[in-house]
């Protein structure tokens, strides 16, 4: 194999113009890692937050840095300590965000972070799953502890995380309410939403007595969500830590989710996809060479489902 490959790296923090498509060294692997030839990756808001430098105090990234923390591809090399995987295996993952990511032809990843790709999903579909679906799974199932029969409000149901959250909440047996714009009402209903609030015409903050709110937007939306909860209700955010003071007023819980890698949960998600119980919504597909346009689309906040990067 060549010792260089094509990658998109940043050499400094800043706007989309810092994304450089260039030759870079193929990563080497440790004993507990595999090298994956990436077929597809995807764009998540965390990518451009890292690019801008918003998270540099939280994460000790080394520059130059390859962004992107979703991928689907096939194993091309296996570390000496790895026995569960072999060359040629089709895998997908949300790898460790502290390391180089997936805007590249190859990625070195811990074997403990990968799972077998859903067999019924294309490379592009599989790459759209890990970060967003794991975020929804961990926020709703693990952190908020959503139970059958409970009511949940999911903000931005047509987004990458929201589209999975609606489906996972329904699979758990919850009553699902979501917010979206007029053009996406039919989509979120098709994903399983029981009630849809078209935010261009209705005010979600009139809702009352909900068990759980899943905040994917932050700011005023988060602040105005507290009044929709019943006593003892839970608000879980993926944007910013919610107010403990607001939670105390309803004897509720202010919860925060920062998604972690989980091969076990990815395996469960793959089973749901292969059983056709979980749909994957793709907004658009960009070649790796057009990563700047893909970031612009993500930053617009107007994508429906996931933005995918075709790598090879």
- Domain ranges within the chain, ordered by starting residue: 4-129+281-310, 132-256
255: closest CA among 264, 242, 245? 242
- Which pLDDT score, from 0 to 100, does residue 302 have? 86
* Structure confidence by residue, pLDDT tens digits, 181-203: 999 999 999 999 999 999 999 99
The fold of the 4-129+281-310 domain, in CATH, is Quinone Oxidoreductase; Chain A, domain 1 (3.90.180)
Q: Do domains 4-129+281-310 and 132-256 have the same CATH topology?
A: no
What pTM was estimated for this model as a whole?
0.96
pLDDT band for position 301 (cuts 50, 70, 90): confident
Task: Quote the DSSP letter at residue 111.
Answer: G
% the chain with pLDDT above 90: 97
Looking at the DSSP assignment, which residues form a beta bridge with residue 210?
Answer: 229
Mean pLDDT over the full length of the chain = 97
CA atoms within 13 A on the CB side of 198: 10
Respond yes or no on whether the N-terminal peptide bond of residue 64 is cis (omega within 30° of 0): yes
Q: How big, in percent rounded to 5, are the helix, strand and coil portions of the chain? A: 30, 30, 40
* Structure confidence by residue, pLDDT tens digits, 209-236: 999 999 999 999 999 999 999 999 999 9
Tell me the CATH number of domain 132-256, given options 3.40.50.2300, 3.60.10.10, 3.40.50.720, 3.90.1300.10: 3.40.50.720
Looking at the DSSP assignment, which residues form a beta bridge with residue 6?
Answer: 23
pLDDT band for position 58 (cuts 50, 70, 90): confident
- CB within 8 Å of 234: residues ≥ 6 apart: 144, 145, 211, 212, 213, 252, 253, 255
């Amino acid at each position: 194999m060549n010792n260089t490959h094509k990658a998109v790296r940043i050499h400094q923090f800043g706007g989309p113009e810092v994304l450089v498509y260039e030759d870079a060294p193929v990563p080497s692997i440790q004993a507990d890692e595999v090298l994956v030839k990436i077929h597809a990756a995807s764009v998540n808001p965390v990518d451009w937050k890292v690019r801008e430098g918003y998270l540099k105090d939280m994460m000790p990234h080394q520059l130059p840095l390859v962004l992107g923390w979703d991928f689907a591809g096939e194993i091309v090399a296996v570390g000496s300590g790895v026995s569960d995987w072999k060359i040629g295996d089709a895998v997908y993952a949300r790898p460790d965000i502290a390391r180089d990511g997936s805007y590249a032809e190859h990625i070195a990843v811990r074997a403990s972070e990968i799972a077998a790709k859903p067999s019924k999903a294309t490379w592009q579909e599989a790459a759209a799953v890990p970060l967003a679906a794991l975020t929804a799974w961990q926020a709703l199932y693990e952190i908020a502890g959503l139970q059958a029969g409970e009511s949940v409000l999911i903000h931005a149901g047509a987004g990458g995380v929201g589209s999975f959250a609606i489906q996972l909440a329904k699979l758990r047996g919850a009553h699902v309410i979501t917010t979206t714009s007029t053009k996406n009402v039919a989509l979120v209903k098709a994903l399983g939403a029981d009630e849809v609030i078209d935010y261009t015409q209705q005010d979600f903050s009139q809702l009352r007595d909900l068990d759980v709110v899943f905040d994917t937007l932050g700011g005023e939306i988060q602040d105005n969500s507290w009044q929709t909860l019943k006593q003892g209700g839970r608000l879980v955010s993926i944007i910013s830590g919610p107010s403990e003071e607001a939670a105390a007023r309803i004897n509720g819980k202010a919860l925060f989710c920062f998604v972690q890698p989980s091969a076990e949960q990815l395996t469960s998600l793959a089973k749901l996809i292969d059983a056709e119980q979980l749909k994957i919504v793709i907004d658009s597909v960009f070649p790796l060479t057009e990563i700047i346009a893909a970031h612009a689309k993500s930053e617009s906040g107007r994508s429906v489902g996931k933005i995918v990067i075709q790598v090879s």
